[in-house]
Amino acid sequence: MSETRVNLLDFDRIGLEAWFTELGEKGFRAHQLMKWIYHLGVIDFDRMSNLSKSLRTRLSEIAEIRLPEVVTDQVSADGTRKWLLRLHDGNCVETVFIPDGDRGTLCISSQVGCPLDCAFCVTAQQGFNRNLTAAEIIAQVWVANEQLGRSAVGDQAWPGVNDTRLITNVVLMGMGEPLLNVENVVRACRLMMDDLGFGLSKRRVTLSTAGVVPGLERLAGLTDISLAVSLHAVDDELRSQLVPINRKYPISELLSACRKFIGGDTRRRITWEYIMLAEVNDSVHDARKLVKLLSGIPSKVNLIPFNPYPGAPYRASSNAVLDEFREVLLAAGIMTVTRKPRGQDIDAACGQLAGKVQNRRARAVNPPVVEVHP
Ligand code: SAH
């Protein structure tokens, strides 16, 4: 009967306090519960020893902590790890962990599939089913933590806030467009940044958008997490082909929404993602135009080598072209890095996440699976 129970992962701190208050309990019960769930990795009410027996019984009657099921767990030769997670309705999403020295970035999904149809992205071909709930978004962090804890230090350990942290950064760069699911995304991000949740700083939680301007405006009123924008082209004609949402919110509108998002705060900047497609958007002329577009906006540019997939209509730019493009930006004083493709051998790199979207006619791309038993 899990459908009728409240999933407690759906609440951020304020929501959980209100829920306990409605039950006639003190608000600080919410804090105790959060510590069990997010610091200690305990989801069994019976083990929450500082809650009274009667409260624990009541919780198990009306509430639950519902997690997705790990369907597959793949490890790349470069250490990148990808999980396929099955949600209660049978839909599946993917979550990727990318270790890099003492930094560990978790790339999470915000929707089942994606409705935006960007021309170079596999997720788009899956079609779209629905938004993820806040619980399904934060659960990806919980499950990854559990999976990493197990494999790294044995069954008992939970790499929590006061422990050696394996997940140091979270990026909303998996399946879906987070700004089409603002409320749930923000609630989940609050849990990531809450000291009683995963305790990450706002600089270490990054939302990536294809440029949904109204969503960006809503986001600005709710949180000041870090923002990455998938720009990919410097003129509207090309951008509308590559990122069709540009027909609705053209580059000039997008840039002014981004300017507003960071406001006058000089410590903040926007990360621009720019996929490098051979002979499409990768000329020196494009680079110069990019410099002009970004002038006056505190910026960092991430050049993303195109990750090919079967049937892809594009090719990746050569290293020489990539370097030349980067040089133009660097010479103009724009901090620019080329993103290292990670986890390509397990289809875990940018734009390769496919998941499993139900009730869509779109063709299913199922990557070969290597099972791992932690
Ligand atoms: N919808 C959001 C979140 C996805 S983030 C957004 O568009 O920003 C995933 C990033 O990978 C985006 O910058 C996306 O444009 C990029 N990407 C998609 N397909 C890719 C591919 N085949 N190769 C390289 N990058 C890709």
Q: What DSSP line would sit under 105-117, residue for residue?
A: EEE--SEEE-SS-
Whether the per-residue pLDDT at 364 is higher than 50: the answer is no
Ligand 1 atom with minimal separation from the 121 CA: 19
For ligand 1, mutation pick of 108, 114, 173, 177 (most atoms within 8 Å of CB): 173
Q: What residue owns the CA closest to ligand 1's atom 20?
A: 351
Q: Which of 232, 273, 277 to mutate to test the pocket of ligand 1 (most atoms within 8 A of CB)?
A: 273
Mean pLDDT of 47-59: 96
**Cα–Cα distance for residue pair 55/60, rounded to 1 Å:** 9
User: Is the pLDDT reported for residue 314 higher than 60?
Assistant: yes
Q: Which of 304, 353, 365 to mutate to test the pocket of ligand 1 (most atoms within 8 A of CB)?
A: 304
Q: Is 361's pLDDT higher than 90?
A: no
Cα(352) to centroid(ligand 1), Å: 9
Partner residues linked to 323 by β-bridges: none
Which of 162-176, 196-210, 238-252 shows the lowest mean pLDDT across its residues?
162-176
Q: Region 183-193: what's the mean pLDDT?
A: 97
Residue-wise pLDDT tens digits, 104-150: 999 999 999 999 999 999 888 889 999 999 999 999 999 999 998 86
Taking residues 332-357, what's their average pLDDT? 86
Which residues have CB under 6 Å of ligand 1?
118, 120-121, 173, 177, 208-210, 230, 273, 275, 304, 306-307, 350-351
Residue 264 Cα to ligand 1 midpoint, Å, equals 28
pLDDT of residue 166: 86
> Of all protein residues, whose CA lies closest to atom 8 belonging to ligand 1?
209
Query: Across residues 336-360, what is the average pLDDT?
Result: 82
Whole-model pTM?
A: 0.92
Kindly tell me the number of DSSP H helices and DSSP E strands found in the chain. 11, 14
Report the catalytic residues: 94, 350
- Tens of pLDDT, residues 284-294: 999 999 999 99
Greatest pairwise CA separation for the chain in angstroms: 69
Looking from the CA of residue 176, the nearest atom of ligand 1 is 1
pLDDT at 21 over 70: yes
Number of C-beta neighbours around residue 191 at 10 A: 28
Burial 338-361 (b: 16+ CB within 10 A, else e): beebbbbbbbbbbbbbbbbbeebe
pLDDT for residue 370: 31
pLDDT at 151 over 80: no
Is pLDDT of 158 > 80?
no
Q: Give the rounded distance of the alpha carbon of 326 from its chain centre.
A: 26
Q: What is the mean pLDDT of the chain?
A: 90
Closest ligand 1 atom number to CA of residue 309: 22
